[in-house]
Every structure is written in C-alpha cells, then in structure tokens.
Amino acid sequence: MERELSALVHAEARRPRVNIAALFPGQNSHAVGMGGDVAAAFDVAGDVFSTTESVLPGLTALMANGPLPELTLTANQQPALVAASVAAYRAWRAATGLTPAFAAGHSLGEYSALVASGTLDLASALRLTRKRGELMQEAVPEGVGAMAAVLNADLGIIREACASAGGVCEIANLNAPSQTVISGEKSAVATASATLKGAGARVIPLKVSAPFHCSLMWPARERLTPDLRDADLGEMTFPVLSNVLADVVTNVRDVPGLLARQITESVRWVETLQRLHELGTDTYVEFGPGTVLKGLVERTLPGATVYNVHTPADIEAFNIRMEEHA
C-alpha cells in the first residue's frame, strides 16, 4: 500500500505551490479503530503505534478494539488521539513529501502539533497527555462542573451572562464565529445558559467528564507544570500556533508555560484560524479521526481549501486532488 500511494506522487515541479497548515483535533474526535488502517499501511505510522504500545502498554489494543467507554476516559482518550493524529500526519508526509508551513492543534491537539514540528518527541507527548488527562479528571469532583455550547450569540452577551452567573462560569472554547463553549460550576453554567436562551441563543449542554478550560482546572495546571518544565524540547522545524496566544510561538522555551496556561484558559480557535489566514495559509489539513476541525475551518474561513486525513484512502484522495490542481 505504501508503494502504491507513493507512486501517486509526481515530481515537485508538477505540484501546485501550497501553504499548508497542519491541524490536530482535541477530545471527542475519538473512535474505536482510529489510526489502525494507516498504521497497517505505512511503516512510519506503524512505528508510532509501536512507540505508543511501548510507552503506554495496552493503549493500542484499546484503540483497536474498545470498549468505547474505556477509550473515552480522558486519561486514555488524550494519548490515543495523539497517537492516531501523529500516525496520520507521518503517513501523509511519507506519501506526499510535503511539509506544512504551520501547525496548530485544538486543546489537546496542540501536543500533536508540537510532535509534528519536532518540538516534543512522541514518547514525551504520550506521557504528558496521559498525566494531563488524569489530572484534569481529578481536578473537579464528578457532578460539580459542566460545559455548554452556545450558538448564534454575540460574544459580548456571552461574557455578560458568564459574569452574572453567580459562580465560576467562563468561556472555554471560541470554536467558530457562531459557536462558543462555556465551562464552570454546574449551577453557574445552568444560570448562564438560561440567560442566554432568554436572549435568543441556542444552548446545548455537553456530555463531558469535567469542566475543561476554566479556572476550576487550576489543580491540574499546577500539578502538570513541573512535568512540562522537565520535558526535553527540540527546535521547531516549522512554526506552531499556541491556543492561548492565537499566534506563533516565537521561543520554544515558552512552550511549557503556554501548555500549562492552556489548561485553565480559553482555546482561541477562531483567532488562530484567522491568524493562519493572515500568515498566508491557503490549505488546511486536519490529521486524525473525525472532521470537527474541518467543519470549524469551513465555518470560520468560508471558501477555504480544507481536507481531513485519517486513512490511506484519505491520503490517496489528497494526492489526487493535488494532481488535479497541478
């Protein structure tokens, strides 16, 4: 399969010139079987799974066979998504010979982006995201927190509703111009949700195990910070955009602090995509299971060229599209 896909790649002179942003998904993009096909078809992707099994024994079997509730557990889902996303990315690179101009990841996906750029090695990212998942789950007792997606509401109105909710209620994710996620104490999120519904917004409670990206996550941030500081970092082979900055990380030594801040601060995804557009990105490729980020790109940057790459068939389809536009 690898030879067959590689045979689709023409000489560089025949390829269109593209400025690619590699995008990596966060939680709730997972599925049983994710990454399995690409790991079987490409040696470089298979190596990702071998490393994953060495670092976190049993995780690749859980990814392949489930059960889904166990894979969904935050401590399993986070490193599993890193493994599946990095496997898809490395297979795509092997098949196309292309290198992104930039990378960005949504929340957890920032770890995958840093692996892709060479800043974090895969084994370190797997260990960190396993611990990140454990600490985030432990930070808030079950039933205390909540999250909700708010659709079709002005950001200023959302901020006002959170501020007057009578408890911790904060903006967690700015996902698209018409989709913002709020997070915090269950009662405060319910109060803010009622206020927003009264203002004409559509509010959807989210099925989550903890209230992510809000100040209730401070215990997880504090406990993960020493591990982030101890991580060995390499130089970036291409720039990565930070969730909390919505801009390029200019100094690799800032990465640990930015990843720590990310646990309690908002994911500024709309601004991140807009910044990528300003930087000259013309093609967006989401690596990993699901098409959440593909949808968010299409809603934020109408008319953008965007792909999802998760399977060998996706890579083949990408190559064919590149050939058609050559």
Active site residue 277: no
φ/ψ of residue 96, rounded to 5: -110, -25
For residue 177, say if its preceding peptide bond is cis, omega within 30 degrees of 0: no
Query: Phi, psi (5° rounding) for residue 270?
Result: -60, -50
Q: Catalytic pick from 30, 106, 193, 213?
A: 213
CA distance 6 to 103: 23
93 — phi, psi (to 5°)? -65, -40
The Cα 75–Cα 135 span in angstroms is 8
Distances (CA, A) of 142 to 66, 139, 219, 222: 23, 9, 15, 20
Alpha helices in 154-268 (DSSP H): 155-163, 186-198, 218-230, 255-264
Q: How far apart are CA 261 and CA 182, in angstroms?
A: 17
Exactly one of 30, 85, 106, 107 is catalytic; name it: 107
Q: For this structure, is 310 an active site residue?
A: no
Sequence-distant (6+) residues with CB within 8 A of 87 are 35, 38, 39, 42, 44, 45, 46, 48, 49
Cα angle for residues 113, 117, 123 (degrees, 5° grid):
75
Write down the residue that tokens 């593909």 correspond to: 294
Enumerate the active-site residues: 107, 213
